[in-house]
Amino acid sequence: MPTNTFLNLESEKKTRILKAVIDEFSEKQYEQVQISDIIKHAKIPRGSFYQYFVDKEDLYLYLIDIIRNEKMLFLMNTLGNSQGMNFLDLVRKLYDDGVKFALRFPQYVKILDHLLKNKSKIYEKLMSDNIKIAEDIYADLIDKDKAKGLIKEDIDTRTFSRIIVQLTANIAVEELDMNHQDESYQKMLERNNQVLKIIERGVLKG
């Protein structure tokens, strides 16, 4: 996490540094990002970087924390008003929120996309526990809908929760079109709705 020296920087300088960090990590995989490129774009001396962060990993953990907090703010309204909502309707709404988040913060989504696709050591450090927590939350909601008779008893809860975690985590970066946001939004929602229809109805006749 950043030092107090970084946290106490004037707003303009802190914003400039974070913009350079976001630009670099949104364009490259974690391993490809160089501190030298960050300090060049942020227009700070190398020595200053090490007054602000221990190393690249320390900086990256801070960046992911920023993204996670921003996304939680986006999801908070849905999660706070999910009482009485069945599981698949909640998934549908969370995906809708996720698409809106992607359109508002496309660079954040690219950073997360790099992280999810590149199963490196930093992925294990950051994501394995978070994914397990999400799976546990979804598993609990699935079991509650089973108890209400909304989901078949013979559906494996853990497998279903894993499918949903993957569905909601993988907002398709390649479908983000910032020049046609409404069209991009509708296309991504439609794709998700088609997946959820298959889940709801199954694929076999009879």
- For the stretch 155-176, pLDDT in tens is 999 999 999 888 777 666 666 7
| CATH fold for the domain made of 1-54 | Arc Repressor Mutant, subunit A (1.10.10)
Q: Cα–Cα distance between 107 and 102 in angstroms, integer? A: 8
Residues in the chain: 206
12-15's contacts with Cβ under 8 Å and 24+ in sequence apart are 13/44
Helix axes 11-27, 35-42, angle to 10 degrees: 140
- The domain limits of the chain are 1-54, 63-201
| CATH code reported for the domain at 63-201 | 1.10.357.10
Q: Cα–Cα distance between 22 and 107 in angstroms, integer? A: 7
Q: Do domains 1-54 and 63-201 have the same CATH topology?
A: no
Q: Cα–Cα distance between 159 and 127 in angstroms, integer? A: 18
- Give per-residue pLDDT as tens, 81-118: 878 889 999 888 888 888 888 889 989 988 988 887 77
**Mean pLDDT rounded to a whole number for the chain:** 87
Q: What pTM does this model have?
A: 0.81
| Confidence check: pLDDT of 119 > 80 | no
**What tokens were used for 177?**
């079109």
Pair 74, 97: CB distance under 8 Å: yes
| pLDDT for residue 174 | 64
